[in-house]
Structure formats: structure tokens, C-alpha cells
Amino acid sequence: MSSPDYALSVTGLSVRYGRVSGVENVSFTVTPGETVALVGPNGAGKTSTLRAIAGLLPRSGVRVRGEIMVGGRSVRGWSPWQVAGLGVAMIPAVTKVFPHLTVKEHLQMSGRKLRSAEYDSAQARVLELFPQLGSRLSAPAAALSGGERQMLALGAATMHRPALLMIDELSQGLAPSAVTAIVEGLRTLTTDGLSLLVVEQSLGTALSLASRCYALESGRVSAEGPAERFQESAELAGSYLGRQSVQDSPAPAAAAGQDNEEPCIKVTGLSVRFRGLQALSDVTIAVRPRQTVGLIGPNGAGKSTLLNCINGAVRPTAGEITLSGRAIRSLRPHQIARLGVARTFQNAELWKSMEVLDVVQLGSHTARLPRRAALARARTALEFVGMTGIETSAVADLPYGHAKLVDLARALATQPEILLLDEPASGLTQSERAAMAKILVRVGADLNITTVIVEHDMQLVRECCAQVIVLSHGRVIAEGDPDTVLAADNVASELLGLTATSTTAAD
């Protein structure tokens, strides 16, 4: 069945990380010279798919099934260098370049097998595609802006004229003007016969480039077809925005403090810059006591960075954060934890070789309780999340959903004033997700904890949050109650990433 008509064909691909499913039965094709986009929210399995094709998944602990054909040859289980030998290049989402090497050195390294005349023409072609790089040939990659790094990565990857180029998160963290230039460059490359497989959060950028799209949701292909059809696909919007809740949610706002009460979390003019990337710019928000707030936005919008700033793991470049009136600028994470700030982690397998009861008791570390009290508190927290009878199991032996609940119990055992939840529903199955939503509603209603939830699952946000804050490109673009905010056109298009289309079209 090997068909050389396809530059790439993937059939029934499944990737499992231990007990966590990353990709389930995904099939798609890329014909020579075609551009195909994989779109979908964070955690949908897009990057796992690319890594499986490139041979970049670790050998142990990961199970890959299905068929991956590149140019008519089955490459499943191949090493990265073997796949690259077939003319497949990949640009990862984050680490694209070597920070200490110059632009020129990157190109030389990529073109090291070319003869000098070939090299000269290859370099000339790259500089023609991205003229911006020409003036920066002797600059180290660390000094480049995000857009220039992506251009350099593209240039280096195409020195050898690969047959298939895979790009993970093409536009993530890039300024709109840079995205326009890069999209232009890629169009030129594809007219020369290059096949492109682009993973993209921003639907607008994806649609401006690709002829066909595959939407992934929870590891499965939820929609596929020609790019034009995606523009107004209600189905796709549903997977990004969550279905409108049918019944009224049980008024999560009831317990929230009054407008005149002093904010529990107050963030003023917060900016964070790292590695040439503006993660947050001039963010100002206030969360009232006992309120549950959802922090949403496309991937790379700065949601996790904001969470990390509040608990001290990231130091802001500018701006001020006060928790119940106390400035936390000079405090270290453990000191902030002592003020009553708890958080859960996106990766619930963090405490994998610890026993459940030890993990949850870790929650009372800051309280310095006597043994019995610490134990009692841990058991109460485990009961609250419905995880009893597993006290002596190691976290690594639990189903992933249970591990997430144990981590939540750990955070609750600190009896925090402020609870920060980093993607509580990511990696959960549908039923686990529903259970998590119910528990989070109770956290807000029964425990009266001020809660900030970073989440991509809008259904869960609608169920749990009285208020949402939408971040995009490091800025707050909307605030208000979930139904109104999510219904607003600009928010919907921002979450779907449709705004980039207008930018591109305008140029």
C-alpha cells in the first residue's frame, strides 16, 4: 500500500506515554508541495504527532502504534538522523536555535555537506527569503528577536532543500509583522516543491498558509478538510470554546466578595521578558476574595507565566503584585507559600515515587502541624477529592486522573487563602474531567478559597468560574462573566486564533 504519491502518510497513529494517552488513531496525508496544518488546543496531541514522525520520542516509556510512511518508506521506530536522511526537517516549538552560535554559523553548520558554490547559492536563497537576517549574520542567535529566530531556524532547515518540513507552533510568541514575513517566506518555499506540515494554535495563521487542515482534540482528529471549510466551522469553535452550558450553573459567584472589598490578588502593570520574548506586558488584574477566576487564552498567551509570577517562581521584569495588601516582589517561592498561596501543577506525575499520604501531608509543610494533625488534615483533603483507600500507593502507580486529584488534595491540605490551578483538566478523560469540574465547584462554594484556574477546557471554565480573564500575546484583552466574554466576537476569534488572518490579509 506504500504510495509514493504522498510526501508523508500517517495511518492509525497512537502514542501512549505510560498510562497517559497522547495521540489516538490519527491518520492524515501530505502530498508533495502541499501545506497541511494540524490545529487544536493545547494538549491535543499535535506535538506528539510531529515527534513520532521525526523519531524524537523517547525509546522507553512511550508506545507508538500505527504506520508512518515518508516517501513510500515506513519510518516508525527510526532514529532522528535516519528520518532526517530521507529529507525530513523539523523545527521544534521552543528550542529552535543554538544561542551561542551566530547566524552565519547556523547556516554553515546546516550546509556543511554542500560544496562551496552550492553553499553560496543556498545562503543567498535564505537571505532572499528573509532579508532581515542579512544584516545580522555575525550576531549570536541569543541576540535575535523571536521572529528572527524562527526565520533563522527556517533558513537553516531549508539549506539542504528538504522534501518535507515540519514546524511546531509556527507563530507562537511572535509579533504579527514577523508572522506575515514568515508566512510569505514559506509560500515561496512551497512553490519550489517543499511539503509543509505545520502545527499551529492560531487558526488564522494556519488557514492563511495551508490548503488542508486537520483539527485535533484530545488526541483524535475531530475535523478535517480543505482550509476554507474551517473558517466558519461551528464544530471547531465548539471544541475551542466549550458548548454553551444548558442549565444555569449553580451561581458560583454567590460567595465572592463585594466590589468595595480589598482585592485578594492585585497585579499592577506586570511585565515579564525572557529570551527575547515578551511573555507579559503591562498586565493589570484584581481578584476579589473568595472569587473563582478563569484565566484563559491561546497557548503562549502568558497564562502560566502569570501564575508563576504570583507564586514567585518567575520574577517579573516590571510591575507589582500584592496578595491581600502585601507586596511579594522580594519573596522567594517558599515564603509566598507561607502567606497561604497553594498551587497545583500541570504535570500531576511530579511526585511520582512518593506515597500518596506523604504527598498530601507535604501540603501542611508550611503549617508545622503536629504529626496527628497533619495526618488528619491530609485524610480530610483526600476525602474531599474522593481519593481514599490509596494512601500507601506510590503516585506513579495511580491512574493519571487520580494523580491529578492527589495533587489537588495536596494543595487543599495547605488550607490556602489563594489556590492557583494550572490546567486541572489537561490529560483527563471525559468522565474524569466532569468529576474534576464538580470538585472545583465545591472548592469555590464550600471552602471559600480564592481560586485562579488556568484552563483550555472552556466547558470546565464555564462550570466553575464566576469571572474570566482573557490573555492574548501577554495582554489582557477581555474580562467579565464567562458567558458574555466567550460570546464576544473578539474573544472567540482570539481563542480560535482567527485575528491573524486579518493581519495577513491587510498586508
Partner 1 sequence: MSTAVKTPVADPPARQPWRLRPSAEAAVSPVAIVVGCLVVLLLAWFAFTPYYLYLTVLTAFACIGAAALNLQMGFAGLVSIGNAGFMAVGAFTAVWADHYGGLLVGVLAGGVAAGIAGLLVGAVAMRLRGFYLVLSTLALQFIVAFAGQQIEQALNKPAGFILPIPSVGPWQLGSDRSWLMFALILLAIELIVIHLIMRGRLGRAFLAIREHENAAGVVGVNVALHKMLASGISAAMIGVGGAALGYYIGNVDYSTYTLDLAVSYAAMVLIGGLGSKYGPLLGAAVVTLLPALLSALDSGSSAGYFTQHASSIDLLVYGLLIIAIVLVEPGGLAVLLRRLTDPVGRRLARIVRGNGS
* Residues that bind partner 1 in the complex, under the rule CB under 8 A: 311-313, 332-334, 337-338, 342-343, 345, 350-354, 357-358, 361-366, 368, 371, 374, 384-393, 398-399, 401-402, 405, 410, 414, 431-432, 434-435, 438-439, 442, 446
Distance of closest approach, residue 500 Cβ to partner 1, in angstroms: 33
Judge contact between 163 and 7, C-beta under 8 A: yes
Nearer to partner 1, 50 or 387 (CB): 387
Distance of closest approach, residue 354 Cβ to partner 1, in angstroms: 5
Nearer to partner 1, 111 or 444 (CB): 444
Q: Count CB atoms within 10 A of the CB of residue 2.
A: 12
Cell for 131? 532579508
Distance of closest approach, residue 327 Cβ to partner 1, in angstroms: 19
Strand 467-472 to 475-480 pairing: antiparallel
Distance of closest approach, residue 390 Cβ to partner 1, in angstroms: 4
Distance of closest approach, residue 394 Cβ to partner 1, in angstroms: 11
Alpha-carbon distances, residue 158 vs 140, 171, 178 (angstroms): 20, 18, 18
Nearer to partner 1, 48 or 364 (CB): 364
Who contacts 440 (Cβ-Cβ below 8 Å, separation ≥6)? 292, 421, 424, 451, 453, 460, 463, 464
DSSP state of 351: G
Measured distance CA(92)–CA(198) in Å, rounded: 11
Judge contact between 465 and 448, C-beta under 8 A: no
Nearer to partner 1, 53 or 256 (CB): 256
Nearer to partner 1, 116 or 431 (CB): 431
Nearer to partner 1, 106 or 402 (CB): 402
Helix, strand or coil for residue 323? strand
Nearer to partner 1, 105 or 391 (CB): 391
Measured distance CA(105)–CA(95) in Å, rounded: 17
Distance of closest approach, residue 96 Cβ to partner 1, in angstroms: 24
**215 exposed, middle or buried (CB, 10 Å; 0-12, 13-18, 19+)?**
buried
Distance of closest approach, residue 306 Cβ to partner 1, in angstroms: 14
DSSP track, 82-108: HHHHTTEEEE-SS--S-TTSBHHHHHH
Distance of closest approach, residue 367 Cβ to partner 1, in angstroms: 9
Who contacts 391 (Cβ-Cβ below 8 Å, separation ≥6)? 355, 356, 357, 379, 382
Nearer to partner 1, 459 or 504 (CB): 459
Measured distance CA(507)–CA(501) in Å, rounded: 10
Nearer to partner 1, 62 or 313 (CB): 313
Please list the alpha-helical segments (H only) found in 276-355.
Answer: 303-310, 333-338
How wide is the angle at C-alpha 351 spanned by C-alphas 439 and 332, nearest 5°? Answer: 90
Helix, strand or coil for residue 440? helix
Distance of closest approach, residue 365 Cβ to partner 1, in angstroms: 5
